[in-house]
Amino acid sequence: MAGKTLQNINLRNIRIHDASWDRYINLVEDVILPFEWKLINDLVPGAEKSYCMQNFRIAAGQETGAHRGMVFQDTDVAKWLEAVGYSLSKKSNARLEAIADEAIDLIAAAQCEDGYLNTYYTIRGEARWKDLFEGHELYTAGHMIEAAAAYYQATGKRKLLDVVCRFADYICTVFGPEEGKLHAYPGHPEIELALIKLYRLTGNAKYLDLAAYFIQIRGEQPCYFSSEENYRNGTFIFPEFKDFTFDYCQADRPLMEQDKAEGHAVRAVYLYSAMADLAFEQEDEKLLEHCRALWENIVQRQMYITGSIGSASYGERFTTDYDLPNSTNYSESCATIGLAMFSNRMFQGTRDGQYMDTVEQALYNTLLAGIALDGQHYFYVNPLELVPEIAENNPTMRHIMTERQQWFGVACCPPNITRTLASIGNYMIAAEGDTCYVNLYLACDVQAPLQSGTLSFTLEADYPASGTIMLCITEAIGASQTLAVRIPAYSRDSYRIRINGKDFLQEPHKGYAYLSREWRVGDQIQLELSVSFRFVYCNPRVRDNLGRVCIMRGPQVYCFEEADNGSYLAACRIDTSQPIREAHSDDLPGGILCAIVEGDKAVYRSDMGALYSGQKPEREPVTLRGVPYSRWNNRGRGEMQVWMRDKYG
């Protein structure tokens, strides 16, 4: 494997000015973070109460009362702070920073003498670490560590970092291989990747060691969680957990014996992210190979075309290979984010562009579909097919919301989306030695601190509306440096790179064109990707997509909505022998490029009394209009369908 020299560049060094993404990213600072602050302070009329900050005040002794909300309610504050950190990295904002400092003061005040920090357990006075299966203590700790890292990187302020280091130090005294310590690991992974992040920031190897230990012993049999049953005594924080087997949390077998992604999808990809981090840090080829097998299992057998995962609502989990139902799936926004995290780490460990293809697929489709264009409404669950009347009346789909919701009682997704939007730079650019990887094509200005000196460039693009991406060097040191430009798989057979007007013909390596030279200010690189509309078909093992076709444009998946095509989308078929035409629409803010296709539709007549007859339904021609899946459900409640029947399917 490649050595552990690749790294993200500081978010401060990436200034995004992308017309399409700025719509969301600017919302983070302007709308979402202030709004979320109000939410976690219970200041939004009509929204479900969060109790987050109230819990911290009670734990800090500033108020009295009971803990309210979920066992992991603290993580909403942590994810908010993490997003604030990323946002401040991008642009300073004194007011936001002042609020965040205030929150951090409160968090510090809520920390116990010994470093422990968790309002649920502190307020309720319940014994710590007795219910690792459900208690989310280490999960919550992990999110707080991630927040501290982001805030420190943005502001240089150590207060929260010191808090989480004390907490992590304490955790290191509780867990570990030594006698007298708990030989245990969390039900919900997250602490592992957080500890590795903390190790990278502080250089304190014990954090890396503990992360490695958590991963190493996970799933040893008999499963640790069985030993907690006496404590739980038949009662459960989450009643449904009583029916869950330990594969739910990837603990039914040692991790190295798990060859398929299994269980709760978010847990799985958070865990695999940490495994990839560990393989990178320890240059552990075998572990990396195992991560690759898990990643391939996901992407080649268990991932929706929208980059989402989790085929079942019950358990919010992976099910089995090629089981990808379009209307009963869970496809949690958080799981897509976790898949992007895992894939990004796999790129870091391998410098292989296929992983960033998946990052792009996840971010350009399900991540953006998770948030409304107003920035204040979110999807938890992301079906690929929705008939509102059925979703509202058939309880098999009771997890499906037919419109985005403002906030949820269990609020993992909205702040997770926020922190991902705020840190999108971490997926865009990476640096290693004198090579700068350009992974995503958001318009931006980049200062890449390479080994021999800073290479700065401006990236101009209206991607994926246009496949033309222009890089212009704005700062260079004259030494030979490399721009590794990702060629997405969909354009692998048809792309063009010109440097200062001259074709660059060298074959890409693992999805990257490596452009090396002594760059000069003003040098121009033009990358032409083929983003035209295309029909995409599914592996025939996926039963639900047999005879169906999907339309894509670049990384964007398209879908069909009732707003454009009327209801009973299922009765429509696309004529795949005819080309997909392009049309512009101003229906949505920023406009959308629509896909226009010809097809037909089974005719229903109101005099059809019987359900079943010997008469095949007649068909009539229709013209259908598709819109990007990322923009669906911005025009009210209605049907939506990604995989359409193929007239020739």
Q: Does residue 603 interact with a second copy by CB under 8 A?
A: yes
Q: Per-residue b/e over 192-230, b at no fewer than 16 CB within 10 Å?
A: bbbbbbbbbbbebeebbbbbbbbbbbbbeeebbbeebee
CA distance 463 to 314: 37
Residues 259-318 touching a second copy, rule: CB under 8 A, are: 299-301, 303, 305, 311-315, 317
Nearer to a second copy (CB atom), residue 196 or residue 291: 291
Nearer to a second copy (CB atom), residue 239 or residue 501: 239
φ, ψ dihedrals at 596, nearest 5°: -110, 125
Whether the Cβ atoms of residue 35 and residue 376 lie closer than 8 Å to each other? yes
Near a second copy by CB under 8 A: residue from 323, 434, 575, 587: 323
CA distance 306 to 10: 29
Nearer to a second copy (CB atom), residue 54 or residue 326: 326
- Shortest separation between residue 258's beta carbon and a second copy, angstroms: 15
CA distance 358 to 339: 8
Nearer to a second copy (CB atom), residue 34 or residue 325: 325
- Shortest separation between residue 190's beta carbon and a second copy, angstroms: 23
Whether the Cβ atoms of residue 191 and residue 214 lie closer than 8 Å to each other? yes
Q: Where are the beta strands (DSSP E) in 298-425?
A: 385-386
Q: Does residue 626 interact with a second copy by CB under 8 A?
A: no
| Residue 202: strand, helix, or coil | helix
- Shortest separation between residue 323's beta carbon and a second copy, angstroms: 5
Residues 550-569 touching a second copy, rule: CB under 8 A, are: 550, 568
Q: Does residue 570 interact with a second copy by CB under 8 A?
A: yes
Nearer to a second copy (CB atom), residue 71 or residue 569: 569
- Shortest separation between residue 641's beta carbon and a second copy, angstroms: 10
CA distance 173 to 171: 5
Which span sits near a second copy by CB under 8 A: 2-10, 279-287, 439-447, 547-555? Answer: 547-555
CA distance 599 to 601: 7
Which span sits near a second copy by CB under 8 A: 208-216, 334-342, 522-530, 539-547? Answer: 539-547
Which span sits near a second copy by CB under 8 A: 13-21, 30-38, 459-467, 541-549? Answer: 541-549
Q: Does residue 387 interact with a second copy by CB under 8 A?
A: yes
Site string for a second copy, 509-538 (x = CB under 8 A): -------------------------xxxxx
Q: Among all residues, which ones are annotated catalytic? A: 316, 412
* Beta-strand pair 524-529/556-561: unpaired
CA distance 278 to 211: 8
Say if residue 60 is exposed, middle or buried (CB neighbours under 10 Å; 0-12, 13-18, 19+).
middle
Q: Residue 559 pairs with which residues in a beta bridge?
A: 627
Q: Does residue 614 interact with a second copy by CB under 8 A?
A: yes
- Shortest separation between residue 645's beta carbon and a second copy, angstroms: 6
- Shortest separation between residue 599's beta carbon and a second copy, angstroms: 13
Q: Does residue 508 interact with a second copy by CB under 8 A?
A: no
Whether the Cβ atoms of residue 447 and residue 473 lie closer than 8 Å to each other? no
Which span sits near a second copy by CB under 8 A: 6-14, 451-459, 570-578, 622-630? Answer: 570-578
- Shortest separation between residue 261's beta carbon and a second copy, angstroms: 12
Site string for a second copy, 473-502 (x = CB under 8 A): ------------------------------
* Beta-strand pair 548-553/644-646: antiparallel
Whether the Cβ atoms of residue 429 and residue 9 lie closer than 8 Å to each other? yes
Say if residue 648 is exposed, middle or buried (CB neighbours under 10 Å; 0-12, 13-18, 19+).
exposed
Q: Does residue 394 interact with a second copy by CB under 8 A?
A: yes
- Shortest separation between residue 218's beta carbon and a second copy, angstroms: 21
Q: Does residue 325 interact with a second copy by CB under 8 A?
A: yes
CA distance 383 to 642: 9
Whether the Cβ atoms of residue 7 and residue 431 lie closer than 8 Å to each other? yes
DSSP summary character for residue 327: S
Per the structure block, which two tokens stand in for 303? 């991932």
Q: Does residue 540 interact with a second copy by CB under 8 A?
A: yes
**How many C-beta atoms lie closer than 10 Å to residue 478's C-beta?**
11
φ, ψ dihedrals at 216, nearest 5°: -65, -40
- Shortest separation between residue 302's beta carbon and a second copy, angstroms: 9
Nearer to a second copy (CB atom), residue 177 or residue 540: 540
Which span sits near a second copy by CB under 8 A: 75-83, 88-96, 474-482, 599-607? Answer: 599-607
Using CB under 8 A as the binding criterion, the count of chain residues that bind a second copy stands at 61
Nearer to a second copy (CB atom), residue 156 or residue 621: 621
Per the structure block, which two tokens stand in for 472? 């212009």
DSSP summary character for residue 269: H
Q: Where are the beta strands (DSSP E) in 107-242?
A: none
Site residues (vs a second copy, CB under 8 A): 239, 299-301, 303, 305, 311-315, 317, 319-320, 323, 325, 328, 387, 389-390, 393-396, 398, 534-543, 546-547, 549-550, 568, 570-571, 573, 576, 602-604, 608-617, 645-646, 648-649
